Chains A and B, each alone.
Chain A
Amino acid sequence: MSLKDLLIQGGHVIDPSQGLDSVQDILISDGRVKAVGAGLRAGRAEVFNAAGMLVFPGLIDMHTHLREPGYEEAETIHSGCEAASGGGFTAVCAMPNTSPPTDDAGRVRFILGRAYGAMARVYPVGAITRNREGGLIVEMNEMAEAGAVGFSDDGVSVANAAVMRNALRYADMLGRPVIAHEEDADLDCDGQMNEGALSAELGLRGMPAIAEETLVQRDIAIAGYTGTGIHITHISTAGTVSLIREAKKRGVRVTCDVTPHHLVLTEDCVATYDTRFKMNPPLRTTQDIRALREGLTDGTIDAIATDHAPHYIEQKELEFIYAAFGVTGLETALGVVHRELVATGILTWADVVRTMSYNPSRILRVGGGTLNPGGIGDVTIYDPDAAWTVVPGLMKSKSKNTPFSGWELPGRVTATVVGGVLYVNNRES
Chain B
Amino acid sequence: MPLEITHLFGLKGVSREDIDTILDTAVSFREVLDRPIRIVPTLKGVAVLNLFYEDSTRTRISFELAERRLSAEVVSFSKSSSSVSKGESLRDTVRNIEAMKIDLIVVRHRSPGTPRFLAAHTGCRIINAGDGEHEHPTQALLDMMTMRRHFGTFEGLRVLIVGDILHSRVARSEIWGLTTMGVRVDVCGPSTLMPLDMRGFDVTVHHDFDRVIAEYDVIYMLRIQKERQPAGLIPSAREYTAMYGLTKDRVKRMSPEAVIMHPGPINRGIELDYEVADSDRSLILEQVTNGEAVRMAVLYLLSGRSEQ
Interface residues of A (CB under 8 A from B): 195-206, 208, 272-273, 314, 317-322
Contact = CB atoms under 8 A, between A and B. Distances in A.
B131 interface: yes
Contacts of B166: 200
Contact of A322 (B84, B134, B172, B198): B84
A197 to B, nearest CB: 4
Interface residues of B, number: 29
A203 B172 contact: yes
A296 B103 CA distance: 52
A285 to B, nearest CB: 11
B133 interface: yes
Contacts of B196: 195-196, 200, 206, 208
A317 B110 CA distance: 16
Interface string B99-133: 00000000001111110110000000000000111
B91 interface: yes
Interface of B: 12, 84-85, 89-91, 109-114, 116-117, 131-135, 166, 169, 172, 195-201
Most chain B CB within 10 A, of A195, A202, A203, A272, is at A203
Nearest to B172: A203
Contact of A319 (B111, B133, B195): B111
A278 to B, nearest CB: 10
Contacts of B197: 195-197, 200
A272 B84 CA distance: 22
B111 A320 contact: yes
Given A196-B196, A201-B172, 18 more contacts: A197-B197, A197-B198, A200-B197, A202-B112, A202-B134, A203-B112, A204-B113, A205-B133, A272-B113, A272-B116, A273-B117, A319-B84, A319-B111, A320-B113, A321-B111, A322-B84, A322-B85, A322-B111
Contacts of B117: 273, 319-320
A319 B114 contact: yes
Contacts of A200: 166, 195-198, 200-201
Contacts of B114: 319-320
A81 B197 CA distance: 43
A338 to B, nearest CB: 32
Contacts of B110: 319, 321
Most chain A CB within 10 A, of B85, B111, B133, is at B111
A203 B12 CA distance: 12
Contacts of A314: 89
Contact of B112 (A196, A204, A317): A204
A15 B211 CA distance: 69
B200 to A, nearest CB: 4
A205 B231 CA distance: 14
A199 B166 CA distance: 10
A318 B134 CA distance: 17
